[in-house]
């Protein structure tokens, strides 16, 4: 990742199709299109590749996550359990609906800790939302069992893990509803875009309507369509969808390259006994977009991170000191800094953040470094990079 590294003739062809007919909106203008419906084609391609019944493409990954919650009926005052290691969009998507994000610890999978999830369930809990960070997944079988026991919805945020699988099922398709992101730095990019994926017909229909101001999309006259319920504008443009359509057709190619590059680096780092790789739940396969590993302690991880930067090993992230992906620096959430008044229900629901600690998560995130796997590297560049990483780590370990 990211897919923009390998833009080529196929992306240009699909974009030119849109520019030549001049229709940038995904709905209407049938006569002008010359048969081109890029968003619809992208949805069909997603359904076919991931063996899922329904896919609906939207304007961003954040929109997709929020819609995944909305179509399942999650709203005001409902609690959604999520990990404290994710991108800020995960809790933003929950709060957009007036629901309450309940952040819990992660474990050595860098995703939800199962025991922490069990302890967090209350009468207000309506959903569990694992986030498949850095290309790998939570223990979805255990989470599904918890959801079944407590009558909860399992919502997968697979925005960083497209192409990964669990028990032979594509990530995003194992739970009740899932989401992908196609932003500029994802394995598959539209520039900006996302998708809601589900095998639930009702959730799909809700997605189709909700993302387009509640339009029911019945008939051929857009102006005559009815509005079964309130909706908003999360539509994707045909230009964005055109890029995504080309990219999704190339996903097997991208995954193969990622796996090759990942494997070379991992095998090289494996010579260092102190380097421990993240745990992938049994039955899971990463999408190989990141190589994540643990060092003995926080101090060493910081020194290795600095050493990587000084030696030209870019795109390796020590999330403990990161502003965007870990609870430690989310002061805007803890202090509810907002342009508009936050409801008293949400304020009360988030009071726990004033006193809650995440010592277990600190233990893992503090020692973790996650390195982006690029598609454009030559084999020589990969080997040079891997050897530099080994040199830096050994120098810090002494």
**Which of 107, 88, 51 minimizes the C-alpha distance to 362?**
107
Task: Using a pLDDT cut of 70, give the percent of the chain over it.
Answer: 100
Q: Tens digit of pLDDT for each residue in 137-158?
A: 999 999 999 999 999 999 999 9
Buried b (16+ CB within 10 A) or exposed e, 198-218: bbbeebbbbbbbbbbeebeee
Beta bridge partners of 284: 166
pLDDT digits (tens, 9 = 90+) for 329-344: 999 999 999 999 999 9
53, 169 in Cβ contact below 8 A? no
Report the residue count for the chain: 398
Q: Are 240 and 191 in contact (CB under 8 A)?
A: yes
Task: Compute the Cα dihedral for 200, 202, 203, 208 and give only its sign.
Answer: positive
> How far is 299 from 195, CA to CA, in rounded Å?
39
Per-residue pLDDT band for 202 (boundaries 50, 70, 90) equals very high
Choice among 118, 186, 259, 374 that is catalytic? 186
Cα separation, 57 vs 72, in Å, equals 17
Residue-wise pLDDT tens digits, 347-364: 999 999 999 999 999 999
* Distance of alpha carbon 223 from alpha carbon 85, whole angstroms: 44
Distance CA 65, CA 73 (A): 13
pLDDT for 290 equals 98
Q: Is the pLDDT of residue 326 over 90?
A: yes
pLDDT more than 90, % of the chain: 99
101 pLDDT band, cuts 50/70/90, is very high
- Please confirm, yes or no, whether 347 is among the known catalytic residues: no
Q: What is the pLDDT of residue 196?
A: 98
- Is the pLDDT at 255 greater than 90? The verdict is yes
Average pLDDT over residues 15-39: 96
Instruction: Inform me whether the pLDDT recorded for 41 exceeds 90.
Output: yes
> Residue 145: which residues within 8 A CB-CB, separation 6 or more?
none
Q: In angstroms, how far is the first alpha carbon of the chain from the final one? A: 33
Q: How would CATH label the architecture of 3-250?
A: 3-Layer(aba) Sandwich (3.40)
> pLDDT, tens digit, for every residue of 310-324?
999 999 999 999 999
pLDDT grade for 1, boundaries at 50, 70 and 90: confident
Q: How much is the pLDDT for 121?
A: 98
Of 3.50.50.60, 1.10.287.3510, 3.90.1150.10, 3.40.50.880, the CATH number of 253-397 is 3.90.1150.10
Domain chopping of the chain, boundaries = 3-250, 253-397
- The set of residues, in sequence order, having a beta carbon less than 8 Å from that of 348 and lying 6+ positions away, is none
**361 contacts 84 by C-beta, under 8 angstroms:** yes
Domains 3-250 and 253-397 alike in fold: no
Note whether 42 and 58 are within 8 A (CB): no
Tell whether the model's pLDDT for residue 58 goes beyond 90: yes
């Amino acid at each position: 990742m990211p897919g923009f590294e390998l833009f080529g003739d196929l992306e240009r062809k699909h974009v030119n199709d849109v520019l030549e007919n001049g229709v940038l909106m995904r709905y209407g203008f049938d006569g002008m299109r010359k048969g081109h419906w890029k968003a619809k084609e992208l949805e069909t391609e997603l359904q076919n590749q991931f063996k899922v019944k329904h896919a609906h493409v939207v304007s961003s990954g954040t929109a997709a996550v929020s819609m995944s919650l909305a179509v399942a009926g999650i709203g005001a005052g409902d609690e959604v359990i999520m990990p404290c290691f994710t991108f800020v969009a995960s809790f933003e998507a929950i709060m957009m609906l007036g629901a309450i994000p309940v952040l819990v610890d992660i474990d050595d999978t860098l995703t939800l800790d199962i025991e922490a999830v069990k302890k967090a369930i209350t009468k207000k809990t309506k959903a569990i939302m694992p986030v498949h960070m850095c290309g790998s997944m939570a223990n979805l079988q255990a989470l599904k069992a918890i959801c079944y026991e407590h009558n909860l919805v399992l919502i997968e945020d697979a925005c960083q893990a497209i192409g990964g699988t669990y028990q032979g099922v594509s990530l995003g398709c194992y739970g009740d509803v899932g989401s992908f992101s196609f932003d500029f730095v994802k394995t598959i990019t539209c520039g900006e875009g996302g998708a809601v994926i589900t095998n639930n017909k009702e959730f799909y229909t809700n997605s189709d309507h909700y993302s387009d101001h509640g339009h029911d999309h019945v008939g051929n006259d857009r102006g005559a369509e009815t509005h079964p319920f309130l909706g908003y504008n999360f539509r994707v443009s045909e230009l964005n969808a055109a890029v995504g359509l080309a990219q999704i057709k190339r996903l097997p190619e991208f995954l193969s390259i990622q796996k090759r590059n990942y494997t070379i680096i991992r095998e090289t780092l494996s010579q260092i006994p102190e380097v421990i790789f993240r745990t992938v739940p049994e039955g899971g396969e990463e999408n190989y977009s990141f190589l994540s590993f643990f060092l003995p302690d926080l101090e060493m991880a910081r020194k290795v991170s600095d050493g990587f930067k000084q030696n030209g090993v870019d795109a390796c992230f020590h999330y403990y000191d990161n502003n965007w992906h870990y609870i430690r620096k989310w002061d805007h959430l803890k202090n509810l800094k907002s342009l508009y008044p936050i409801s008293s229900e949400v304020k009360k629901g988030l009071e726990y953040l004033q006193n809650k600690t995440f010592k277990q998560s600190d233990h893992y995130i503090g020692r973790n470094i996650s390195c982006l796997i690029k598609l454009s590297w030559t084999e020589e560049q990969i080997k040079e990079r891997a050897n530099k990483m080994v040199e830096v780590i050994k120098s810090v370990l002494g």
